[in-house]
Amino acid sequence: MNAGVERPATLDFLTHMLAALEAGRVDLPAFPKVVIQVQEVLENPNFTAQLLAKPILAEPTLAARFLNMANSTAFNATGRVIIDVGVALARLGAQKVYSVVLAHGIQELRKAESLQSIARPLEEMWSDSIAVAHFCNVVAKRSSLSTPEAFAAGLLHRVGHMYILVQSTKQGSSRARVLDSALVNEWHAVIAKAVLKNWEISKTVCDAVRAQTDLIARTGPPNLTDVLIAGIRLAHRMRDSHDSRNLASGGALVRLNLSVEECQKIIAEAAEEVRALERVFRA
């Protein structure tokens, strides 16, 4: 299929996908029941960490993931080892817990036989999401912003790309259909917001994920969108140390008062913690 044919076909594909999402239809194969069960617990304003732990304990891999995460250097400043899943969930907080459960669901997609042809790009997107989540968490802390959703925004910022890629295989073939990459890059944030809205992720995270590709200058105090954009830029720079554009002065980095030197320090300190988080999410 040539580029001239790809673009209108891709636009039609994305338009129909967004319409389905806006109508409340999220279509993912083999999405684990624990996602729905955790969501139901969180809908109760009086939920407790122990209630939240119940469906998670039924998934040993997921339970181990939370214990490893709560005991990692990123989330365990005291160094006190946690062995109780309920305590681990209380330490992480509801927003991180739900985003990790969704992440677990996305990870499980790779096991679906119908998606084996796209397992590698899904894995690459997931590695990027883990790195961005780490940097968002660090930037929010260093900037003294009250943004408990920073980790979740980073972890879920590529849901649009992932959803588009999964849907591209559902054409009666084991191979993903060819899409116009420029259009996908234009639309992925809109698709991501629609998916996350269906999953009842907070409006703040939905809005930040939607705005990640906006180039317009923002006014007012720095917010979660700035944190996410900074996290994306730092993760990209960590992967490619020769790409100076990601640390160029301006935009989100200036709004967060992050100098090039500060960014380089954050990146230098990140490698081991990012590897540790990747081990957690691949447990």
Per residue in 146-185, pLDDT tens? 777 898 899 899 999 999 988 888 754 555 678 888 999 9
Please, is 145 exposed, middle or buried when counting C-beta atoms within 10 Å of its C-beta (0-12, 13-18, 19+)?
middle
Q: With bands split at pLDDT 50, 70 and 90, how would you rate the model's confidence at 30?
A: low
Which whole number is the average pLDDT over 211-215? 86
The pLDDT, as a whole number, for residue 113 is: 76
The pLDDT, as a whole number, for residue 157 is: 94
The pLDDT, as a whole number, for residue 1 is: 45
CA separation for the pair 182, 194 (Å, rounded)? 19
Percentage of the chain surpassing pLDDT 70?
Answer: 92
Which whole number is the average pLDDT over 257-277? 85
Per residue in 35-85, pLDDT tens? 888 888 888 888 888 899 999 999 888 898 888 888 877 777 777 888 889
CA separation for the pair 97, 54 (Å, rounded)? 13
Per residue in 105-152, pLDDT tens? 877 777 777 778 888 888 888 889 989 998 998 899 888 777 778 988
| pLDDT at residue 88 greater than cutoff 80 | yes
- Average pLDDT over the chain reads 84
The per-residue DSSP string of 64-118 comes to HHHHHHHTSTTT-SS------HHHHHHHH-HHHHHHHHHHHHHHHHTT-GGGGGG
Domain with CATH 1.10.3210 in the chain: 1-25+117-283
The pLDDT, as a whole number, for residue 19 is: 94
Right CATH for 1-25+117-283 from 1.25.40, 1.10.357, 1.10.3210, 1.10.10:
1.10.3210
pTM of the model: 0.83
